[in-house]
């Protein structure tokens, strides 16, 4: 890794007791321990081992409810790629949300776990024949078409006499999102059909020419970790303009508009979150105004939050294995890393690890928390503030680990993916077990 000379303490630094980005249930004790949902992190680490992902069920449910309350009359669809297991699918289902999936795998897991297929939306810029077949077989509610070739391919899978509801994924030409890898609203990335070059309109014609497909609306997802309302309002105006063009050309007013997800959450104290209530109010007003201007009925809205539902509900625990001073920096190495959290390497995200499990009178100092993988880029956070006496055997907790952690985990270095443990009112139970060497050996059948 590139070890930079000691930098000034970042302005976003947090004190050891700052739990502002943690689940609402988190509470710090005087003994240095922290509880989440009434469960001691020290006890969780000794019972389940580390690394371990913890997930606060009530926090997930509260976030689902906040969306339902902010967007009355809209479909709130949880983006399963952020984190999917049977328990999370059940919580989301019980809270009345839909589910957005990107593969036959996510779809099968949800449906076999009891998620109603009609509340599921299938996405994907390059859906495989297996994805499409599974979606049609299980009766998925809506499929979001992402390319012209997909139209005929899907139509041939639908039984004569049936109609599959579809939306078209459109690129509204809005650049938003915290990193180039998550900006999906412009013409220079792989998702969707461009409004600018006419391919969106061409696709509309193609879908309308397929009697087994029912075009119910347009979809866009402009990016991820978006903290401002404005990009969504620009997207609304462009999408309504396209709805008006479709009405003028084909005489139909499409009844649905799906605005995707991408709502930002803070990973460190002081970072911005997207204000849900402000977003919902502004989108409603913008949509009503734009539709009135074009003399269109207001379409039913869908939003697809992933990160904002599960991200802040998760915490990952690590043990410190080694501490060393190199190049003027202190490196704190833990027993996980890029295999359980590739996000720092992918998007340069920074986290705020906290020493938990023992009190420390030592002053805070900036350190680099690194993983145990054989890559110099295996850095969890380059400018963490930890007590100066941090040492091997200490427990570190990293908050906001609920989204895009387990779902992006790999078997790199055959460490095995950590378990996911659900926390609920003082109890902890394993939702997804730790991946063992036996699991990995079982797949290795050659010689
Ligand atoms: C990833 C994704 C989402 C969710 O994004 P978040 O940033 O987790 O809210 C929603 N819709 C689509 C189509 C996506 O690809």
Q: Is 258 in the pocket of ligand 1 (CB under 6 A)?
A: no
Of the three residues 310, 342, 362, the one that is the final residue of a domain is 310
Instruction: Tell me which residue range forms the domain holding 170.
Output: 57-310
The DSSP result for 192-252, as a single string, is: SEESTTSHHHHHHHHHHT-TTEEEEEEE---BSSB--SHHHHHHHHHHHHHHHHHHHHHS-
* pLDDT digits (tens), the chain, 447 positions: 333 333 333 333 344 579 999 999 999 988 999 999 999 999 999 999 999 999 999 999 999 999 999 999 999 999 999 999 999 999 999 999 999 999 999 999 999 999 999 999 999 999 999 999 999 999 999 999 999 999 999 999 999 999 999 999 999 988 777 677 777 777 777 788 999 889 999 999 999 999 999 999 999 999 999 999 999 999 999 999 999 999 999 999 999 999 999 999 999 999 999 999 999 999 999 999 999 999 999 999 999 999 999 999 999 999 999 999 988 899 999 999 999 999 999 988 899 999 999 999 999 999 999 999 998 889 999 999 999 999 999 999 999 999 999 999 999 999 999 999 999 999 999 999 999 999 999 999 998
> Would you say 371 and 396 are in contact if contact means Cβ atoms under 8 Å apart?
no
**If phi over 0 gives left and psi between -120 and 50 gives alpha, with beta otherwise, what is residue 403?**
beta
Residues 290 and 320 in one domain: no
CATH number (domain holding residue 370): 2.40.37.10
**Does ligand 1 have an atom closer than 6 angstroms to the CB of 268?**
no
> Are the CB atoms for 274 and 227 separated by under 8 Å?
yes
Residue ID of nearest Cα to ligand 1 atom 7: 262
Nearest C-alpha neighbor of 17 from the set 395, 387, 423, 392: 387
- For residue 439, the tally of other CB atoms under 10 A from its CB is 13
- Check whether residue 202 and residue 102 sit in a common domain: yes
From 82, 88, 176, 191, the mutation candidate for ligand 1 (largest count of ligand atoms within 8 A of CB) is 82
Looking at the structure, tell me whether residues 43 and 122 fall in a common domain.
no
Is residue 124 lining ligand 1, measured as CB closer than 6 Å? no
Q: Looking at the CA of residue 82, tell me the nearest atom of ligand 1.
A: 8
Nearest ligand 1 atom, CA 404: 8
Q: State if residue 82 touches ligand 1 by the CB under 6 angstroms criterion.
A: yes
Establish if 359 belongs to a structural domain: yes
**Can you give the pLDDT at residue 23?**
98
Domain assignment present for 7: no
| CB of 128 closer than 8 Å to CB of 104 | yes
d(CA 204, CA 148): 9
Q: Does the active-site annotation cover 374?
A: yes
- Residue 261 CA, ligand 1 centroid: distance in Å: 5
> Is residue 315 in a domain?
yes
Q: Are residues 262 and 383 in the same domain?
A: no
Q: What's the CA angle centered on 383, arms 379 and 387, to 5 degrees?
A: 110
How far from the centroid of its chain's Cα atoms is residue 272's Cα? Answer: 17
Give me the sign of the Cα torsion angle 8, 11, 15, 21: negative
Write down the pLDDT at residue 3.
36
**Residue 274, in any domain of the structure:** yes
343 is in an annotated binding site: yes
Determine whether the annotation assigns residue 133 to a binding site.
no
Distance CA 23, CA 41 (A): 13
Residue 314, classified by CB atoms within 10 Å of its CB into exposed (0-12), middle (13-18) or buried (19+), is: buried
On whether 307 is known to bind a ligand per the annotation, the reply is yes
Alpha-carbon Rg of the chain, whole angstroms?
23
Query: Are 383 and 301 part of one and the same domain?
Result: no
Q: How far apart are CA 378 and CA 338, in angstroms?
A: 6
The answer to whether the CB of 343 is under 6 A from ligand 1 is no
* CA distances for 284 relative to 233, 309, 387, angstroms: 9, 21, 47
**Has residue 290 been placed in a domain?**
yes
CB 404 within 8 A of CB 316: no
| C-alpha 437 – ligand 1 centre gap (Å) | 32
Say whether both 401 and 426 belong to one domain. Answer: yes
CATH label of the domain that carries residue 233: 3.20.20.10
In a domain, 20, yes or no: no
SS3 420: strand
Say whether both 425 and 346 belong to one domain: yes
Q: Is 185 in the pocket of ligand 1 (CB under 6 A)?
A: no
Residues 375 and 429 in one domain: yes
CB distance 81 to ligand 1 below 6 Å: yes
Residues 305 and 417 in one domain: no
Residues 126 and 256 in one domain: yes
The neighbouring-strand residues paired with 369 are 332, 381
Q: Establish whether 267 is an annotated binding residue.
A: no
Catalytically annotated residue among 64, 85, 102, 374: 374
For residue 263, the SS3 value is strand
Domain boundary among 289, 310, 331: 310
Question: Whose alpha carbon is nearest atom 10 of ligand 1?
Answer: 261
Contact of 85 with 409, CB cutoff 8 Å: no
Residue 305 among known ligand-binding residues: yes
Tell me whether residue 49 is annotated as binding: no
Residue 395 to residue 318: CA distance in whole angstroms: 6
pLDDT of amino acid 173: 86
The response to whether 306 counts as a known ligand-binding position is: yes
CA–centroid distance, residue 61 to ligand 1 (Å):
18
pLDDT of residue 182: 74
Q: 312: Cβ below 6 Å to ligand 1?
A: no
Pair of tokens at residue 63 = 């976030």
Unique residue bearing structure tokens 């939050």: 305
Domain end marker among 310, 342, 373: 310
Query: What span, in angstroms and rounded, lies between the C-alpha atoms of 398 and 198?
Result: 45
- Give distance in angstroms: CA of 211 to centre of ligand 1: 30
- Domains contained in the chain, number: 2
Domain presence at residue 22? no
**Pocket test residue of 79, 126, 143 for ligand 1, highest count of atoms within 8 A of CB:** 79
Task: Provide the 10 A C-beta neighbour count for residue 437.
Answer: 10
- Considering the domain boundaries, does residue 131 fall inside one? yes
**Ligand 1 pocket, 224 CB below 6 A?**
yes
Atom of ligand 1 nearest to the CA of 223: 7
Co-location of 51 and 63 in the same domain = no
Q: Are residues 110 and 169 in the same domain?
A: yes
Atom of ligand 1 nearest to the CA of 304: 10
């Amino acid at each position: 890794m590139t070890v930079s000379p000691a930098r000034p303490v970042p302005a976003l630094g947090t004190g050891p007791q700052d739990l502002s980005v943690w689940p609402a249930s988190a509470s710090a004790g005087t003994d240095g321990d922290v509880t989440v949902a009434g469960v001691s992190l020290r006890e969780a680490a000794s019972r389940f081992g580390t690394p371990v992902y913890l997930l606060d069920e009530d926090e997930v449910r509260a976030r689902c409810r906040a969306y339902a309350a902010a967007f009355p009359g809209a479909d709130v669809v949880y983006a399963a790629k952020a984190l999917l297991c049977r328990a999370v699918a059940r919580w989301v289902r019980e809270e009345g949300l839909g589910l957005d999936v990107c593969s036959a795998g996510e779809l099968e897991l949800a449906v076999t776990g009891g998620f109603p297929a009609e509340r599921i939306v299938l996405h994907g810029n390059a859906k495989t024949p297996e994805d499409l077949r599974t979606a049609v077989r299980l009766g998925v509610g809506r499929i979001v078409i992402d390319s012209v070739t997909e139209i005929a391919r899907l139509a041939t899978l639908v039984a004569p006499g049936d109609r599959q509801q579809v939306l078209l994924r459109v690129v509204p030409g809005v650049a938003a999102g915290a990193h180039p890898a998550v900006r999906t609203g412009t013409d220079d990335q792989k998702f969707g059909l461009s409004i600018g070059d006419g391919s969106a309109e061409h696709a509309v014609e193609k879908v309308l020419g397929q009697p087994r497909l029912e075009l119910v609306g347009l979809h866009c997802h402009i990016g991820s970790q978006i903290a401002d309302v404005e990009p969504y309002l620009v997207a609304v105006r462009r999408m309504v303009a396209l709805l008006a063009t479709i009405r003028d050309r084909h005489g139909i007013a499409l009844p649905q508009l799906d605005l995707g997800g991408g709502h930002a959450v803070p990973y460190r104290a002081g970072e911005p979150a997207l204000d849900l209530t402000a977003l919902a109010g502004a989108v409603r007003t913008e949509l009503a105004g734009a539709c009135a201007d074009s003399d269109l009925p207001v379409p039913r809205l869908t939003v697809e939050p992933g990160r904002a539902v599960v991200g802040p509900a998760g915490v990952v625990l690590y043990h410190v294995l080694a501490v060393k001073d190199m190049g003027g920096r202190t490196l704190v190495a833990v027993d996980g890393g890029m295999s359980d959290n590739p996000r720092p390497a992918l998007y340069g995200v920074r986290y705020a690890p906290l020493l938990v499990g023992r009190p420390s009178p030592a002053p805070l100092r900036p350190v680099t928390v690194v993983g145990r993988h054989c890559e110099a880029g295996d850095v969890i956070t380059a400018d963490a503030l930890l007590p100066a006496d941090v040492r091997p055997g200490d427990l570190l907790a990293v908050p906001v680990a609920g989204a895009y952690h387990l779902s992006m985990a790999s078997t790199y270095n055959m460490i095995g993916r950590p378990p996911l443990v659900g926390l609920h009112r003082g109890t902890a139970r394993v939702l997804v077990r730790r991946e063992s060497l036996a699991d990995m050996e079982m797949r290795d059948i050659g010689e």
